Each structure stands twice: as C-alpha cells, then as structure tokens.
Chains A and B, each alone.
Chain A
Amino acid sequence: MVKQVITGNMATAMGTRLCRPAVISAYPITPQTTIVEYIADFVADGTLKTQYVKVESEHSAMSCCISASNTGVRTFTATSAHGLLLMHEMLEWAAGARLPIVLVNVNRANGPPWSVWADHHDTIMQRDTGWMSIFCENNQEILDSMIMAFKVAEDPDIMLPMMLSEDAFYLSHTSEPVDVPDQALVDKFLPEYKPEHFLDPENPKGFGSLVMPPQYMEFRYKMAESMDLAREKIRKVNDEFYEVFGRKYGNGLIEEYRCDDAEVVLVGAGTNASTVREVVDRMRDEGHKVGLARLRCFRPFPYEEIRDLAKRVKAIGVFERTYTFGYQGPFTAEIKGALYGTGVDIPIKNYLLGIGGRDIRTKHVRAVFEDIMKVAEQGLDQETKWFGLLDGNTPEEEL
C-alpha cells in the first residue's frame, strides 16, 4: 500500500482505476469535473484500460452505462447535483434492469439560487429509484467504498446499482492522506463481473421489455427483497474488506462513536460527522455524555441499528444538510418511522445546518449538543430547527 495525499475526486478516480470498469461514461459538472479529468489522464497514459465514452449529457452518460452493463461488463459514472437530476429517469432504468452500476455523486446544492456547494438534496431526491445509497465521510472512505460498492452491487442476490456520495469541496477538492491498496489485492477481493444474464447475439433475450400487469409487481417485489438483503450484504462486505485491507466503516451501515454510555447523540452523514466527532471528544473531556452515530447507508435504511441506538439514549438530534419540503429532514422522518411501535418514545429533533455549503463549525455543533441536552431534560420544544438563520447578525458574525 502507498499512502498518497489526494483529493476526494482523485480518490474516486484512483478507486475507479482499481476496480477496472470496462466502460466509463461521464459528463463534467462542477464539482465532479476533476474526476472526469483524472480518469481521462489515466486512459491517456495507459494506466486504465477502459472504454471511456464522451457524451453530451448526464442522461446519456447513464444510458451509456446501462447499455454497456447490459452486455455484462462493469461500468462507472460520476456526477453532481443537476447532472444527477438529469439522470433521474435512467437511474430508475438502471435499478429496474438490475444493473450493478456504481456512481459517485459529489453532493452539491440544486439551484436556484445557483450554488455549487455541499448539500445532500441531490442524493436524497434519488431515494426511491432503487439505488443503494452510501454517504462517505473522508477520501479514504470514498476509495474503499468504491471497491466494496461493486462487490455488493454485483452479488447475484443483490444486482442493484449503488450511489456513493461525497461532499462538494470538503472532500472533492480537499487533500487528505489516503492508502491506495495494491491492485493485486483489489483484484482478489473484487473478481471480474460475470452476470447470469447479458446481451449475447448467440443467445438472444429481451431486456426490460413490456410486461403485463400480472408480472410487473413481482419484479418490484424482487427489488424490494434484494434491497432488504443488501443490509446484511453491506455489513458482510464491510467485514471482509477489514480482513483484507485493515479498514472498516462502523458496521457498514452506521458508525457509532462514543455512543455506549451516551445520553444524547447526534445522527449525521458525510463530512458533518467529522466536525461532530471532534466536538464529541471535547465535550466528553468536559464530562458530557454525548455521542455520534454516523449514518453511512441511507438506502437500504439501517432501521435495526437505529432502534438499537434509540433504546440506549435519552434524545437524538438529527443533523441534516437537506430538507424535504412540506415535512422534515429526510433522515429525521426515516428515524422516527423506524421507531414507531417499538415502545421507544424519546425526543427526536431535526437540526438543519450547512445547507448550500454553509460552514458547520465546532461552535455550531456544540450549540446543537447543548440544545439537544436541554431537550433530553425538558422535552421537545420544536420538531425542526433551521439553525443559524440570519437574524440581524451578518453571515460573518454567524461564522
């Protein structure tokens, strides 16, 4: 293994090279652009043997991956925000066709108002497409998750595409030390993709063709079944990865940090978790029983882990970089849903921070912890808190 200091986008490009996709198709969009550029460099210098297909849109990039994947080969693409939204129709197709495509989405806010900064809304909007969805916290996790993603997605019992998300700029353009594993180890861990069904002129089959109402429901049921199985598969591959590479990410679905005797925990995803982890350490030193549960996997949703966590704490604060208009933050709604009927009735408060790339600083996290500790003692004052909205203070003062 060689430790290199690289950005999240370089980690994505190197992860791609290690996984040896036969076809890559992508369209550049800020802040994903350098992924496309680095992969082009690898293809040009001969270190990545792949068919790199230039297209005129993200819709076409996903269509290209779908067609290539249907021929029975490994495929990859990367995008961001509006690019992911333009792909939406074909994301549905990729999942319904049971194609284990891996996509890296660099989380960016959707316009208007125009923005290129970190926000989880783009990924969350794809919740119901049938893609597995994982949020990465650092550049090492991006590279490692790519290797695990193909392994999970290509499992004959799963056969669903997987989306990995990395926060714009906080990861995409920030350099961190990353262990780049040996190609031989990766090849052994991730063997060649050999699906049962693929386009073959010698053995013609129709793919995704019309079915009548008596059959359609069965295929959706099978997607649901595989998505449920994916929980155990993600946990298992996380363990197997640890055996070979010496790194793991919680239990694959969720990563608890100092939660064992915690009275309150914050649940967050992506880079938010790093700031929360730092504040947990500082507040623990002061004697506060606080913890972090990082939601790594959003689909399939780790409801069992959430139930187990909620039994042990007095209150949960859900820390979100996105909002679902008309209700609450998506993680909050899912967490509350997971707890219904379990007899656990603790306050759960939704905190909205960092939307559109607004900085989340340790002092903000501390204020949130202080608020949720108060909620744990006194009960819920409000369900949803848009944290730090301008209120006579300047943005600079707010920071």
Chain B
Amino acid sequence: MSKHQDIPLTPINTESSEKVRTGDWRTYIPVFDAEKCIKCYICWKYCPDAAIKVKDEESLPEWDLFHCKGCGICAEECPKDAIEMILEEVE
C-alpha cells in the first residue's frame, strides 16, 4: 500500500502478526544448551511472544528467531540455566 488513497478508512491489519518480523528489535540473543535441558518447557510457557516452539513432549524447545525480541524471560526462568543471553552481532 504505497498510495494513501488505497488505505482503508478503518485502521485494520489484514495480515497476521505472524508475518511481522519482530526479531530485528533484539539486542541479546538466546543461546540454548541442549545438554542442560530437562524438557520442563517452562521457557515455552513463559515466552510472551510464543517464539519458543515445542513439537511434542519428547522434543527440545526451538527458538523462532524471526519473532524472538530477546527479552530474556526464558533465560531468567530456566531452572537449569540452559539458556544464556548474549549480545547479538549484527552486520
């Protein structure tokens, strides 16, 4: 929508927020140590952006870095210190 005439009067968003990259807001990136993980999924429960995915109860958590804002709540809540937040290098 490059022309204002094409924008509807009502401020609506027809695209899901899933399509919005919020990962580029990140300063710190989570680094996961699978060796320490006990699959309690506390990180998955606490993630405010649903950016941690768990396929099934056998799987390890996976980070969706397209959406992860790097808030660090997962690292803070992990009972085994399996997640570390480190300064992300950007080009």
- Where the two chains meet, the residues of A that have a C-beta atom closer than 8 Å to any C-beta of B are 96-98, 156-157, 159, 195-197, 204-209, 211, 215, 218-219, 221-222, 226
Contacts and interface: CB of A to CB of B under 8 A. Distances in A.
B4 interface: yes
B12 A197 contact: yes
Interface in B10-37: 10-14, 16-17
Chain B: interface size category: 10 to 19
A211 B10 contact: no
Given A204-B16, A206-B17, A221 B4 contact: yes
Determine the main DSSP class of A at the interface with B. loop
Nearest to B17: A206
Nearest to A206: B13
Nearest to A216: B11
Which 3 A-B residue pairs are closest in the complex by CB-CB distance?
A206-B13, A218-B4, A197-B10
Contacts of A197: 8, 10, 12
Nearest to A199: B12
A207 B12 CA distance: 5
Contacts of A226: 9
B80 to A, nearest CB: 35
Contacts of B87: none
B12 A206 contact: yes
A98 B13 contact: no
7 contacts: A97-B10, A156-B9, A207-B10, A207-B13, A215-B7, A218-B4, A221-B4
B17 A209 contact: yes
B8 A196 contact: yes
A97 B9 contact: no
A97 B11 CA distance: 6
Given A218-B4, A221-B4, A207 B9 contact: no
Nearest to A215: B7
B13 A209 contact: yes
A222 B1 CA distance: 15
A395 B16 CA distance: 64
Contact of B11 (A96, A156, A157, A221): A96
A208 B10 CA distance: 8
A222 B16 contact: no
